[in-house]
Homo-oligomer: A and B are copies of this chain.
């Protein structure tokens, strides 16, 4: 039978607890569908950094390239200065592995509470495609006269036709495969970012010609935020740059019920991809077995889809839906589920 090599990065805080349940569920799906998953553990994260001073060795990046896929819990440690782990591990992996797509399916599952009035699961069902290797995320910039009253700090967004086009085309292809309205919305800020957003818009328009059945749409990022809250049903697929993507995917995570359910992937369609829950390492819940593993399980479904096991991915998704429909999980929030982390994992696995 087929087998796949998975690099496992449980990470910090509650990361190991949610990854444990994610592994449990995708292994059950693998068994059911007659393939094997071989996991290799990597202890990257704040704990390792505190102990060794090492963030992410080059040799490890080379090892990752040989895996079929990667599965991440959470990276983040309260004692490490902001930026070190984010730039040293999370962003570095995206750049070095050229995971140029950040994929965020946004779906309101049954029995999951949204903070929005009058919105049902059918109203919140979209995918956000975020460019993941360019823009203002590249770290270009500097200081002049740092720490004086005359200080200047710059931060530069660099965008290439190459990088924008592969992202936009990925989004068009994805839109074509979805059942909804076949609408792709470009999110930018053309009236202000007259260079960066202009390149995005022109590239989008060129690509659109190859997808005549898809309605191409443009909405400013500020309006996208408004609509996500007022009319999420207007969206099918949204494509956007790295920074706007960061903002709107987190807003979207909230409207779909929060960090307990939101998951995503950092995808290199020609290389190795990494899947993860959107939530952080949640230090205050660590070790209590009360964190919600559903987001990580959902990330597991995305992982299975990515390695080509679409049927197993669908099985996991259905198992999550059945677990939610059972009414046994009282809330999506840590500590309020009415079940432990382990019990939620067992419940989902029981439907496989």
Q: Are B247 and A229 in contact (CB under 8 A)?
A: no
| Chain B nearest Cβ from A255, distance in angstroms | 7
- 0/1 per residue, A205-236, Cβ < 8 Å to B? 00000000000000001110110011000000
Chain A interface category by residue count? 35 or more
A253 to B, closest residue via Cβ: B226
Q: Is A13 an interface residue (CB 8 A)?
A: no
Inter-chain contact A195/B155, CB cutoff 8 Å: yes
User: Is A150 on the interface with B (CB-CB < 8 A)?
Assistant: yes
A residues within 8 Å of B by Cβ? 82-83, 86-87, 91, 114-117, 136-137, 139, 141-143, 147-162, 165, 189-199, 202, 221-223, 225-226, 229-230, 243, 246-251, 253-255, 258
Q: Which residues of B contact A162 (CB under 8 A)?
A: 149-150
A9 to chain B, nearest CB (A): 18
Q: In the complex, which of the residues A155, A165, A223, A248 has the most CB atoms of chain B within 10 Å of its own CB atom?
A: A155
A151 touches B195 (CB 8 A): no
The reply to whether A230 and B254 form a contact with Cβ atoms under 8 Å apart is yes
Give the most central of A150, A194, A230: most B CB within 10 Å.
A194
Q: Across the interface, do A194 and B148 meet the contact criterion of CB distance under 8 Å? A: no
Q: How far is the CA of A314 from the CA of B159 in the complex (A)?
A: 48
Task: Flag if B141 contacts A150 (CB, 8 Å).
Answer: no
Cross-interface CB contact of A199 among B153, B195, B226, B253, cutoff 8 Å: B153
Judging by beta carbons under 8 Å apart, are A190 and B83 in contact? yes
Closest approach, in angstroms, between the C-beta of A12 and any C-beta of chain B? 14
Alpha-carbon distance between A159 and B151 when the two chains are bound, in angstroms = 8
Contact A143 B86 (CB under 8 A): no
Q: Beyond A82-B190, A196-B141, A221-B247, is A160–B156 a contact (Cβ under 8 Å)?
A: no
Q: Judge whether B155 and A193 touch: CB under 8 Å.
A: yes
Q: Is the CB of A86 within 8 A of B199?
A: no
User: Do A194 and B226 form a contact, CB below 8 Å, given A151-B199, A153-B199, A199-B143?
Assistant: no
Instruction: Supply 24 A–B pairs (Cβ within 8 Å), ascending by A.
Output: A83-B191, A87-B191, A91-B192, A115-B116, A117-B117, A136-B192, A139-B194, A141-B194, A143-B195, A147-B202, A148-B161, A150-B162, A152-B159, A153-B158, A153-B160, A154-B157, A154-B158, A156-B156, A222-B249, A222-B251, A226-B250, A226-B253, A229-B229, A247-B247
Closest-by-CB residue of B relative to A91 is: B192
- The answer to whether residues A86 and B247 also contact, given A136-B157, A154-B196 and a CB cut-off of 8 A, is no
